[in-house]
Amino acid sequence: MSDDRPWLHRTVLHSEAVTALVTQPEGVYVDGTFGRGGHAREILARLAPAGRLFAFDRDPQAVAAARAVADPRLAVLHASFAEMRTQLAAHGVAHVQGVLLDLGVSSPQLDDPERGFSFRFDAPLDMRMDTTRGETAADFLARASAREIVEVLREHGEERAAVPIAKALVARREGGAPVRRTGELAALVARAVKSREPGQDPATRTFQALRIHVNAELEALEQGLKAALALLAPGGRLVVISFHSLEDRIVKRFIVRHSRDVPDRRAPFAPPRALALVALGRTRPGAEETAANPRARSAVMRVAERTGAPA
């Protein structure tokens, strides 16, 4: 299918995120996940002519959409935000005034059956954000042991039925019919899961876990947060929008860890390490936004400001 189909994409916390981010219109900013450009366009609208925006995305379709934006202040990079420090260094940028990370999967990715992110469509079980490289979800399930599958489902999906699901997947594979499509996986999980929260499809946690694993999302988030902290100039802002508790927990702990004066246990009489961040708050979408965009219901935005000198 072509890449220009008009899937509807509503940017979550559109104005709130950019208002928190852009405090210096002539500064350099990073949009770590361009998606379809909702936040990026708003950032550009608030930047002065001398301002610059570096937009990252792993998804080739998102990169194509970004490159269609005719604005000389915008630079588009086909890379993970985990690589932002080295990528920006190659462009001669050592410090920035703000980093925005809008985590998770975008509506165009979810709504395109060919991407394999959703159990709502029967399609090849891919789930890669970057379709030009890496192992698909089907490939992972074709080689992983039951123990490996259980670990992924528990750690990335908090799936209580991880063991029966893993056993069913391995038994099917050993029977000569490995799961290769989203519909096959959703049906297998529905048979293996005996109970589920009201209103939630039995396959929800399994699909989330596999997507996070295939794309190494939590590892990328941890690396991206470290890179952002190193890049931010004093007074620069870190804005992160998360969509599930695993992501938000990492972001919260990172901000808390770097917003406290921490004594060096190896040198107890030395002055504590100076704090690097000041937490500025936590925001959830309002009732009007969640009514218009149900996918916004789980979103949490955290904002922090850089203190002192960047690393």
The C-alpha atoms of residue 78 and residue 67 are separated, in whole angstroms, by 10
Polymer length in residues for the chain: 311
User: Tokens 């996918």 correspond to what residue?
Assistant: 295
pLDDT at residue 243 is higher than 80 = yes
* pLDDT score at 1: 30
| Percentage with pLDDT > 90 across the chain | 73
User: Tokens 């190494």 correspond to what residue?
Assistant: 216
State the CATH class of domain 14-108+217-306. Answer: alpha beta
The domain ranges of the chain are 14-108+217-306, 131-214
* pLDDT score at 154: 97
* pLDDT score at 262: 58
* pLDDT score at 55: 97
* pLDDT score at 307: 93
* pLDDT score at 3: 36
pTM: 0.89
- The hierarchical CATH code for the domain 131-214 is 1.10.150.170
What is the residue-averaged pLDDT of the chain? 90
> How is 187-249 classified by DSSP, letter by letter?
HHHHHH-----TT--TTHHHHHHHHHHHTTHHHHHHHHHHHHHHHEEEEEEEEEEESSHHHHH
Cα 73-74-80 angle, rounded to 5 deg: 145
Residue 176: other Cβ atoms inside 10 A: 6
Q: What are phi and psi of 236, to 5 degrees?
A: -70, 155
* pLDDT score at 265: 61
Task: Read off the pLDDT band of 135 (50, 70, 90).
Answer: very high
